[in-house]
Amino acid sequence: MRRFLARRLAHGAAVIFIAVSLSFLLLHIAPGDPFSATLASASIDPATLAQWRTAYGLDRPILEQYIRFLGQAAVGNFGPSIRYHQPVADVLAAAIPQTITLMGTALVLSFGFGVPLGSWQAAHRGTTTDRIAGTASLIVGSLPEFWLGLVLLLLFAARFPILPSHGAVDPMHDLFPLAERVIDRARHLVLPALTLALLSSASIARYQRATLLDVLPQDFVRTARAKGVAERHVLWKHALRNALVPTIVLAGLSLPALIGGAVFVERIFSWPGMGSVAVEAFAGRDYQLVAGTTVAGAVLVVAGSIVADLLHAVADPRVRAR
Amino acid sequence: MGGTVITGLATDVAQLIPPMIQQVEEKIVADQIFEPLVMSGDEDRLDTGFRPAIADRWSWERDSMAVVFHLNPSARWHDGAPVRASDVRFTFALYTDPTLGSQERPALSRIDSVTVRDSVTAVFWFNARYPQQFYDAGARMLIMPEHALASLPRATLQTSTFARNPIGSARFRLSKWTTSSIELVADTTNYHGRPKLDRVIFVKVADPNAVVAGLSNGELDAGEIASPQDYQKLSAHPALRSHMLPAWDYAFVQFNLADPKRRTQPNRLFGDIALRRALTMAIDRKTLVASQFDSLGTVAVGPMTHAQTMADTTIAIAAYDSLGAATLLDSLGWKLPAGKMVRERAGQPLRFSLVVPSVSPNRMAMAVRLQESLRRMGVQLDLDVMDAAAFTARVARRDYDAAFNGTRAEASIAGLKAYWTVAGADDPAGRNSANYRNPKFDAHLDSAIGARDITTARAHASQAYSVIIADMPAVWIYEPRTAQFTHKRIRTAHVAPTAWWRGLADWSIPEAERLPRDRIGLKMAAR
Amino acid sequence: MTPMSDAPFREPGDGGNPAGLSPWRAALRTLGRDRSAIAGTVVLAVLGALAVAAKHVVPYECNAQPNIVALKNIAPSLAHPFGTDEFSRDVLSRVICGSQVSLSVAFLSVMVAATLGTIYGAVAGYVGGMVDSAMMRLIDALLAIPRVLLLIAIATLWNGLGIVGLVLLLGLTGWFGVSRLVRTLVISAREDEFVTAARALGASDMRILGQHILPQVISPVLVSATLAIGNVVVVEAGLTYLGMGVRPPRASWGSVFSDGMISFPSAWWTSVFAGLALVVTVLAVNLVADGLREALNTRQLPAR
């Protein structure tokens, strides 16, 4: 097990190294540099500019800049964000937990709804309800995130104002007592997480249904039936056991898409996560910040997939032996 | 005492160092934390109506060539240190430092120096006598603490700790600053007396729909609304009160009169006044404004707004005349080749790009309307959209052909100096990004600023406006009005038309009407 | 969000190929019996036709603003079935014109991605060994970066992409998954008896790749590409909504959507109909892809 973990960590480290190098490459083949793209004050004279360039090492040979970049990235230093006037690391440190919270909740909700739905569909396959559920999830899964998010926002924050329309917490959150703080966070999470979860649970239900139908050996069912055990009982037991492994795999695979999909949802709901930060970085032509978000996204995905792989290995011993 | 006001801001506040303030959102927050020597009255008159702020009295010397400010001896910074005259001198040095590039610098050019007579007396020495002396010296600059800033290197001031943790002397203190909101709390030991509110929270709300939703469901207590549909919707809301603000902004398409790459050469298109005239005639400003704003906006009348005292709204701008514009373009050689949509002259299409800031939904929507208007005239307009900072930088670098600019007018006509005088054009770091040069305009403007009385000043101002409008360095498009909505439980003591946020320290919420969040109090603010 | 191994909606295994038809004919036959796939194909064909003939089909000009005061934000009516937008443009016309940009960007970028991915994956799978490992490690890293974040990063650094730039951007960020798929297929095909026989007979690598291996790769790639078209259409719309896509006054479903946001929700029709176009396209694409997957799964290996 430890060897497996070590191998996975090494693999993860290699992936992150490549992602960081890729960011550096992009930064350098792009036109302009962080200082030509935006200048907050027009009257900064060329001499000061040149000073800044030297201070940030932009006039050193590229190999030296690369080593420096790697070293700084290793400790999470991506330089200053010209959009936020803070170090990129600080901006990311504030944003990443927000994205993880949103992601995590959406993941739990979508599996919590999708797996039982898919299993139920498999148990009742061919019936009208199965077909209706299948069509519904096909349609729901085809909706663009920003569209669904907007509809939900208008329904539940404007038309029937029962939920907040923006942010992760109320502006006065810190002053609430503990119970209210929990409720406040939950209220703000509902709409954005629901948007993401609705979309994911559609695919998960489809996948779960198909996997169950694939995986359930017919003779196993026949044997069980011969033994007098209800087919549905067998199905549910099998569903739970077999759901675990592909579910974990699916969770790992869907991480990049989830983190990416959050960008639009975060924008609609003003959720202060990495997606919002990336969009702001784009608006402000903030090179350093954009490099930081890319690497941060990769790190999150790698971390998530290592966790998924670990869980997979725990659940399925065959994996460890590979 | 008590209450919390939550208001929305359209963009992030990046930094709060007064001389480096570029956007109105930064000003809104900074005005709560810092204060000038004197406050101008609600009407923002330049010659009268001033109230003490840091300075509690003042007197003139040397036949009006110097003004002496006596600072309130109990004035304290938020960290407890006393406010001293050396802070005033230091502030002046920052505002006039070329490396910081303050927008106020040109207006402060007639102040020769600031000296310290003793720890509570600061003296401003002028180069010349002019009606706005007192305004420029006392009301323009937000005073900053020397002891907190002197040791910081000027070049990196914007990313210094002070930029995110400002220390001022006004009635609110910064309590918390996250990526989505800025929280200010009452400075309970402030020498002016504590504000009636406990706290003010500025929340970043990017989406205009979210502002409307927030005002509707009570998440936001105050906000500015610019769209006619939203205005109608919120006007019907029982819990909101609205206050129409007079327009102090105007938006215009400015042409770069010089070549973007070589400033000494005229622009290949806009160096020619006839072309500028043709374009002005091709744009039906009245219809464009009516379409976008309904009644919430008027057609602009020049580099001014109707609300300014010096404004002369009678000067004629080239009227909309599509036939005349077409004829003029033809006569200039810009003809429509058979089967094509864009006019050409010597093989070159009549095509240019307009730089637009994405942060202004009004300008974005207007730009699309302009695009179509010009397309019907055979002119191809490309839109180059970017955020506020990138837009400011492009325009400042003069690397554009046309830019959709907007200005918040100030009460004084001196605000035009930085943007349209020859000195501003010649100075590579100057703000005359249109490269507009007309010494006659400069002369009239100076006369207006230096005039002894209002009537003479207005006469000179009129002439200055006539000159610049006739030169058509820009097409003056619209003056948007905004409505300030506030929750009805809030008593806004007075709303200065030029800056609705100035009176925040005097807003209050009667005990009987307080919401649960108003009752939270300050006990936890120390966190 | 469509994970790579999205299993079919219908029952697995549909009875093989009893009639012994050629594999492609068998596939077409299965497809022909699949009503939802047919529906999807018809929808896509109609959209495609509209996109190609857009300029001739639209009731009003795509970008014309006939009367920005009187005709602004008209609710859906007989004259304007989808209503008019903030700038008095007919929304139905804008959606039809928008299909031109949205569909062609999606189609072209998916072609770019599929081609790149196939070549990369084929090389990695066929060569094998250290080269394969290294190439796949790179793919792992590229797949780990969330696509939208990568798109935003590139859009920031290369500001001002036109349509061509957009196609390249979407294509160059979309080939990673395909390459993995192709590599797996090539690896399994590599050990195939036909391949071993061919190699024994002295056939060159190129010939083996071209004649024996690639044909097996085509159908899964085809299914994946079809799904990708639906995905990219939505991504393009989202990017335009964020300000990184096509520029005004160009119509694309994303730009019609974001124009509609100006007067949302009072003038809801613009954004809703633009969104609907997206939904219909993605649905159709999903149905066709499912049908293709079904049909091509029953195909037997080429008997050459």
C chain contacts of residue B372, beta-carbon cutoff 8 Å: 63-65, 87, 249
Contact C238 A143 (CB under 8 A): no
Contacts of C138 in chain A (CB under 8 A): 18
Residues of C with CB under 8 A from a CB of B: 63-65, 68-69, 72, 86-88, 159-160, 243, 247-249, 259, 261-267
Q: Tell me: pLDDT of A288 over 80.
A: yes
C251-301 pLDDT, tens digit per residue, is: 899 899 888 887 777 788 898 899 889 999 999 998 888 888 877 764 433
User: By the CB < 8 Å criterion, does A279 face chain C?
Assistant: yes
Q: Are strands B351-357 and B380-386 parallel, antiparallel or unpaired?
A: parallel
What are the chain A neighbours of B12 within 8 Å (beta carbons)?
A: 83-84, 280
Q: pTM for this structure?
A: 0.81
Closest residue of chain B to C61, computed from CA coordinates: B372
Peptide bond into C265 cis (omega under 30): yes
Looking at chain A, which residue has its C-alpha nearest residue C287?
A138
In C, which residues are within 8 Å of B291 by CB distance? Answer: 68-69, 72, 87-88
B368 neighbourhood in chain C, CB within 8 Å: 87, 248-249, 259
> How large is the average pLDDT for residues C97-120?
93
Q: Which of A39, A48, A84 sits opposite B14 (nearest CB)?
A: A84
Distance CA C221, CA C223 (A): 5
Cα angle vertex B75, ends B73, B81, to 5°?
A: 105
**CB pair distance less than 8 Å for C68 and B369:** yes
User: How distant is the Cα of A138 from the closest Cα of chain B, in angstroms?
Assistant: 30
Amino acid at A255: L
| pLDDT, position A228 | 64
- Domain extent listing, chain B: 4-13+170-245+483-525, 37-147, 249-480
A-contacting chains (≥3 CB pairs under 8 Å): B, C
User: In this predicted model, what pLDDT tens digit does every residue of B58-78 receive, in sequence order?
Assistant: 999 888 889 999 999 999 999
Q: What mean pLDDT is predicted for residues B42-51?
A: 75
Over residues B211-258, the pLDDT tens digits come to: 888 888 888 999 888 888 888 889 989 999 988 888 888 999 999 999
Most C CBs within 10 Å, among B211, B286, B291, B385, to test the C interface: B291
Q: Which amino acid is at C135?
A: M
Q: Which amino acid is at A99?
A: T
Residue C4 located in a structural domain: no
Decide: helix, strand or coil at residue C286.
helix
Between B325 and B129, name the one with better pLDDT: B325
Within a domain: C226: yes
Q: Is the pLDDT of residue B267 over 60?
A: yes
Of A97-111, B161-175, B378-392, C171-185, minimum mean pLDDT range: B378-392
Residue B473 has pLDDT above 90, yes or no: yes
Strand B402-408 versus strand B351-357 pairing type: parallel
pLDDT of residue A164: 84
Q: What is the pLDDT of residue A247?
A: 72
Mean pLDDT of C126-140: 88
What was the pLDDT predicted at B275?
95
Rounded to the nearest angstrom, the minimum Cα separation between B390 and chain A is 5
Give the mean model confidence (pLDDT) for residues B364-388. Answer: 90
**pLDDT tens-place string over residues A38-93:** 544 444 556 666 776 776 677 778 888 888 888 888 888 888 787 777 788 988 99
CB contact under 8 A, B219 and A166: yes
Give CA–CA dist C110/C101, Å, rounded: 14
Cα B397 from Cα B520, distance rounded (Å): 49
CB of C154 within 8 Å of a chain A CB? The answer is yes
DSSP 8-state class, residue B101: T
Helices within C191-268 (DSSP H only): 193-200, 205-208, 214-242, 253-260
Q: Are B468 and B420 in contact (CB under 8 A)?
A: yes
Residue from the list B361, B375, B383 with its beta carbon closest to the beta carbon of C247: B383
Q: How far is CA A216 from CA A25, A127, A220, A247, B430, in A?
A: 48, 19, 7, 16, 76
pLDDT at B71: 95
- Place A236 in a pLDDT band, splitting at 50, 70 and 90: low
Rounded Cα–Cα distance for residues B19 and B36 (Å): 12
Query: Domain holding C53: CATH number?
Result: 1.10.3720.10
Is the bond into C3 cis (omega within 30 degrees of 0)? no
Give mean pLDDT, residues A131-157.
Answer: 84
Looking at the complex, report in whole angstroms how far the Cα of residue A199 sits from the nearest Cα belonging to chain C.
8
Write out chain A residues lying below 8 Å of B179, CB-based: 84, 91, 94-95, 272, 277
Check residue A34 and give its pLDDT: 64
Q: Tell me what the pLDDT averaged over chain A comes to.
A: 80
Q: pLDDT class for B112, splitting at 50, 70, 90?
A: very high
User: How would residue B276 be classed by pLDDT, with cut points 50, 70 and 90?
Assistant: very high
Question: A274 at the C interface (CB within 8 A)?
Answer: yes
Q: Which residues from A are below 8 Å from B201, CB to CB?
A: 171-172
Q: Is CATH 3.40.50.300 the classification given to domain B37-147?
A: no
Distance from CA of A175 to the nearest CA of C (A): 34
Residue A243: the pLDDT is: 64
> Given an 8 Å threshold on Cβ–Cβ distance, is B14 in contact with A267?
no
What is the domain range of residue C153?
Answer: 33-64+86-296
Nearest residue of chain B to residue C64 (CA atoms): B372
Show the domains of chain A with their CATH numbers: 93-287+303-313 (1.10.3720.10)
Mean pLDDT score, B324-350: 92
CB B217 within 8 A of CB A157: yes
- Provide mean pLDDT across the span C100-115: 93
Torsions phi, psi for C100 (to 5 deg): -60, -55
Q: Give the best residue of C133, C136, C156 to mutate against chain A (max A CB count within 10 A).
A: C156
What whole-number percentage of chain B has pLDDT above 90?
A: 49
A-B contacts (CB, under 8 Å): 139
Average pLDDT, chain B: 88
B209 and C261 in contact by Cβ < 8 A? yes
Lookup: tokens for A191: 């709409």
pLDDT at B486: 92
What is the distance between the alpha carbons of residues A285 and A282, in angstroms, rounded to a whole number? 5
| C169 is a domain residue | yes
Give the separation between CA A164 and CA B205, rounded to whole angstroms. 12
Output the CA torsion B322→B328→B334→B338 (10° steps).
50
Give per-residue pLDDT as tens, C197-245.
Answer: 777 887 777 777 777 777 778 888 888 899 899 889 999 988 888 888 8
Q: How many CB pairs lie under 8 A apart between chains A and C?
A: 179
**What average pLDDT does range B158-180 have in this prediction?**
86
Please indicate, yes or no, if residue C74 is contained in any of the structural domains. no
Chain B residue closest to C87 (CA)?
A: B369
pLDDT tens column, C176-205: 989 988 888 888 877 777 777 777 887 777
Set of chain C residues whose Cβ sits within 8 Å of the Cβ of B229: 263, 266-267
Quickly state the pLDDT bin for A321 (edges 50, 70, 90): low
* Cβ contact, residue pair A210, C142, below 8 Å: no
Q: Is residue C225 part of a domain?
A: yes
- Higher-pLDDT residue of C101 and B524 is C101
**What is the gyration radius of the CA atoms in chain B, in angstroms?**
24
Mean pLDDT of A229-236: 65
Q: Has residue C9 got a pLDDT over 80?
A: no
Q: Is B170 helix (H, G, I), strand (E, B) or coil?
A: coil
Report whether pLDDT(B525) > 60.
no
Task: Look at B509 and C13; give whichever has higher pLDDT.
Answer: B509
Nearest Cα to B219, choosing from B521, B7, B41?
B7
pLDDT band at C106 (very low <50, low <70, confident <90, very high): very high
Using CB atoms, which residue from C64, C69, C248 is nearest to B368?
C248
pLDDT tens per residue, range A198-216: 988 888 888 888 777 776 6
Comparing A150 with A98, the larger pLDDT belongs to A98
Q: Search chain B and give the residue with CA nearest A158.
A: B213
**Chains contacting B (3+ CB pairs below 8 angstroms):** A, C
CA distance B380 to chain C (A): 11
Query: Residue C268's pLDDT is what?
Result: 83
Contact between residue B4 and residue A172 where contact means Cβ atoms under 8 Å apart: yes
Q: Strand, helix or coil at B31? A: helix
Residue of B nearest to C63 (CA): B372
C87 vs B386: CB contact, 8 Å cut-off? no
Indicate the class that CATH gives domain B4-13+170-245+483-525: alpha beta
The number of domains in chain C is 1
Higher pLDDT, C252 or B206: C252
A30 closest CB neighbour out of C1, C9, C157:
C157
Q: Which CB contacts under 8 angstroms, 24+ apart, belong to B467-472?
A: B467/B438, B467/B440, B467/B441, B468/B302, B468/B303, B468/B420, B468/B436, B468/B438, B468/B441, B469/B302, B469/B315, B469/B316, B469/B317, B471/B273, B471/B436, B471/B438, B471/B441, B472/B273, B472/B276, B472/B277, B472/B280, B472/B318
Flag whether residue B294 sits within 8 Å of chain C, measured between CB atoms: no
| Those residues with Cβ within 8 angstroms of residue B21's Cβ, 6 or more apart along the chain or in another chain | B27, B30, B103
At B327 the three-state DSSP class reads helix
Does A279 have pLDDT greater than 60? yes
pLDDT, mean over chain C: 82
CATH fold group of domain B249-480: Dipeptide-binding Protein; domain 3 (3.10.105)
Give the gap in angstroms from C-alpha B210 to the nearest C-alpha of chain C: 11
- Give residue B72's pLDDT: 94
CA angle in degrees (0–180, nearest 5) for C94-C99-C101: 100
